[in-house]
Amino acid sequence: MTISLYFVRHGQTYLNKYHRIQGVIDSPLTDKGIADAVSAGKRLSQIKFDAAYSSDTSRAIKTGRLILQENPSDLTAPIPVAGFRELIFGYYEGEDDVKTWHTIGGPIGINSFHGLIAEFGISKAEDMIAAADPYKDAESGETFWKRLKPAIDKVVEDASDGDKSLLATHGTLIRNVVDRWSDIPVNVSTKNGSVTKVNFDDGRYSVEYFNNVSEDL
């Protein structure tokens, strides 16, 4: 049984544009963000989707709709799934990203999320965010994965052999998936509108490519 999952990061939002941390909070797509989603849809237009899902945030739902407008399938909107929400950053939601990473990593000489991931791995970097959150609302790496993995498994469970499913989701979420199921480095930004392909084959997940913004999908 082989199923292909196409994870797409949502288009640019206003909080992305202003370099603000955006996890559980939401903001609309910018004009560039709409273009990001349309571009992803055009690049994916040769792939007829059998199912489509998104997180239940407006930015992911809108991205999924715009992608499907370019697709030859009869699907018009993704199914929203709470499990596909972005990592919850707790107290740091909406904060300036440079300030946030300096606050968390600065005392050990690391001033970026990429740097924390490169040094400790993404799950440990998420643990550091959770530990620094004074309100304890931020998700640890383990908590995030325990929320996310069942949602992915359910997409696979509901699919038939050979199906291709769209998942319009989020950057840190996609990096967690890639980190779990491949050796591809994830200490880079997941680009808005980029495509990451994950295959499920005979009970095993694997990553075919990550962060693809080319026409070769």
Q: Catalytic residues, which ones? A: 10, 86
- Per the CB < 8 A criterion, the answer to whether 217 and 44 are in contact is yes
CA dist., res. 106 & res. 150, Å (int): 34
Distances in whole angstroms, Cα of residue 202 to Cα of each of 2, 47, 64, 151, 197: 7, 22, 28, 18, 17
Q: Please state, in angstroms and rounded to a whole number, the distance separating the CA atoms of residues 66 and 61.
A: 9
Nearest to 91 by CA among 141, 156, 24, 39: 24
User: Cβ distance 196 to 169 under 8 Å?
Assistant: no
